[in-house]
Structure formats: C-alpha cells, structure tokens
Amino acid sequence: TAETLLSDIKGIDDGVNALTASIEAYNGGLIDELPIGADIAAIHIANRKGYVDANLRATPFNAEDSTAIVQYTASSVGVDIPNSVDVLKAKYDVFEDQKVVILAGLKLLKNDHDTFSAALVSKITADKENGYAAVAVIDDALQSAIDLYS
C-alpha cells in the first residue's frame, strides 16, 4: 500500500536525521565514529525494505497515492539527504583520514537510492515530474559527496 511505502520512506528519513546528528557530533576518533556506521547500516536496511516493498507491488499506485508519495519524498528525504550531505561536506577536514570508509558508505547509500528510486518511480502514475525532480536532488547531493571524498 501507499502507507507501507510512506512508512519505508519515513524510516529512511529518520535514519538520515540520526546520521546527520552523528556527523555533527563527530570530532574524530574511532569510537566516536561507530554511531555513523550504525546510522548508515540503519538507512541501508530501511532502504532495502522500501526497495522490496516497491518491487512487491503488482500494480501502479493511483494518482492520489502517487502524489502523496512524491510529495512526502520531496519534503522529507528530498530535503534531509541534501542537508546531511552538506553537513558531511562541511566536515571534510574532520573525516579526511576516514575518507575511504566514508566513500564506501556514500556509494552504498547511492546504490540504495538509485535502485529504490527506480523501483518506486516505476509504480507512480501521477506527479512523475516532481518525482523525478526529488530523485535528482537526492542523486546530485550524494554524487557531490562521492566526488569530494573520491
């Protein structure tokens, strides 16, 4: 149902907000890095649940549900992921020694985003233009961080 996918997206968004807080709090050190890894894992798990749920959907969403999903995506993860990426990019100097690990996490989350977005957009019947725009905002943010940490 649309509610299931909205819940999945909320799970991702909750994870992103936790990750942002962990990034903001991080000032170096291996022990203090652990919450960041845990947050990335939580986002990955939430994303994979959404990916499975979207792929299990046999029929496209009606226009009302499609619009609700697109609007929620744009106003939640469409805002919070770019914000989280901006926080991460601003702390590049703090994370520079861990850039290989950060890059691996970013690539994992970008792959998760790419596959879940493709599965979800394929089930949307209305507001597709805004759906694609939300996907692009997230994609551009993640790619900008990947480029910085590469």
Domain boundaries, the chain: 2-149
Q: What's the token pair of residue 24?
A: 């903001």
Q: Contact at 8 Å (CB) between 74 and 127?
A: no
Measure the CA–CA gap between 144 and 150, rounded to whole angstroms.
Answer: 10
Measure the CA–CA gap between 23 and 6, rounded to whole angstroms.
Answer: 25
3-state SS assignment for residue 1? coil
Measure the CA–CA gap between 108 and 110, rounded to whole angstroms.
Answer: 5
Measure the CA–CA gap between 53 and 7, rounded to whole angstroms.
Answer: 11
pLDDT of residue 32: 85
What averages of pLDDT result for each successive group of 10 residues across the chain (150 residues)?
97 98 93 92 98 96 98 98 98 93 96 98 96 97 97
pLDDT of residue 120: 96
pLDDT of residue 117: 97
Measure the CA–CA gap between 5 and 9, rounded to whole angstroms.
Answer: 6
Torsion angle (degrees, nearest 10) of CA 138, 141, 145, 150: 80
Measure the CA–CA gap between 17 and 128, rounded to whole angstroms.
Answer: 26
| CB count in 10 Å sphere of residue 149 | 21
pLDDT of residue 37: 94
- Specify the pTM: 0.96
